[in-house]
Structure 1
Amino acid sequence: MRIVFMGSPDYAVKILDELNKRYEIAAVYTQPDKPVGRKKVLTPTPVKKYALEKNLEVYTPVTLKDDNTIENLKPDFIVVAAYGLLLPEKILNIAPCINLHASLLPKYRGASPIQSAILNGDEYTGVTAMLMDKGLDTGDILSWDYTEVGRKTSIDLFNELAVIAAKQTPFVIDNFSKIKPLKQIDALASYSPKIKKSDGYVTFESALIIDRKYRAFQPWPGIYCERFKINEMELIDTDSSNNEGEILEIGDGVVIGCKKGKIRLIKIQVPGKKEINAVDYANGKRLKVGDNIISS
Structure 2
Amino acid sequence: MRVVFMGTPSYATTILEALCNEPSIEVTLLVTQEDKPVGRKQLLTPPHTKAWLLEQGLHVEIFQPKTLRSKEAQEKISAYHPDFIVVAAYGQILPRDILDIAPCINLHASLLPKYRGASPIQSALLSGEVYTGVTSILMEEGLDTGAMLGFSYLKIEPEHNASFLFDTLSDCAAQLTLRTLKNFSSLLPIKQESANATHCKKIKKEDGLISFALDASEIVKRFKALSPWPGIFLASGLKLIEMKHIDSTNNETFGLISEVTSEGIILTCKTGKLLLKTLQPVSKSAMSARDYIRGKRLNCGDSLV
Alignment of 1:213-228 (within 5 A): 213-227=222-236, 228=238
Q: Distance in 2 between matches of 1:31 and 1:211?
A: 33
Is the partner of 1:73 in helix, strand or coil?
coil
What's the CA shift for 1:53?
A: 2.3
- Partner of residue 64, structure 1: 68
What's the CA shift for 1:257?
A: 0.5
- Partner of residue 183, structure 1: 191
What's the CA shift for 1:60?
A: 1.3
Amino acid at match of 2:137: M
Alignment of 1:1-296 (within 5 A): 1-22=1-22, 23-54=25-56, 55=58, 56-66=60-70, 67=73, 68-151=75-158, 152-204=160-212, 205-227=214-236, 228-251=238-261, 252-294=263-305
Unaligned runs of 5+ in 1: none
Q: Distance in 1 between matches of 2:208 and 2:286?
A: 17
CA deviation vs aligned residue, 1:230-252 (integer Å, no higher than 9, x gap): 11111222344352101111122
What is the total number of aligned residue pairs between the two structures?
294
Amino acid at match of 1:244: F
Q: Distance in 1 between matches of 2:7 and 2:137?
A: 15
The worse-fitting range, judged by mean Cα deviation, of 44-53 and 134-143 is 44-53
Unaligned runs of 5+ in 2: none
Is the partner of 1:289 in helix, strand or coil?
coil
Which TM-score applies when normalising by structure 2?
0.94
Q: Distance in 2 between matches of 1:246 and 1:63?
A: 51
Check whether the contact 1:51–1:57 (CA below 8 A) recurs between aligned residues.
no
Which TM-score applies when normalising by structure 1?
0.97
Check whether the contact 1:130–1:140 (CA below 8 A) recurs between aligned residues.
yes
Amino acid at match of 2:14: K
Change (3 A) 1:160 1:239: farther
Q: Distance in 1 between matches of 2:228 and 2:270?
A: 27
Amino acid at match of 1:213: R
Is the partner of 1:137 in helix, strand or coil?
coil
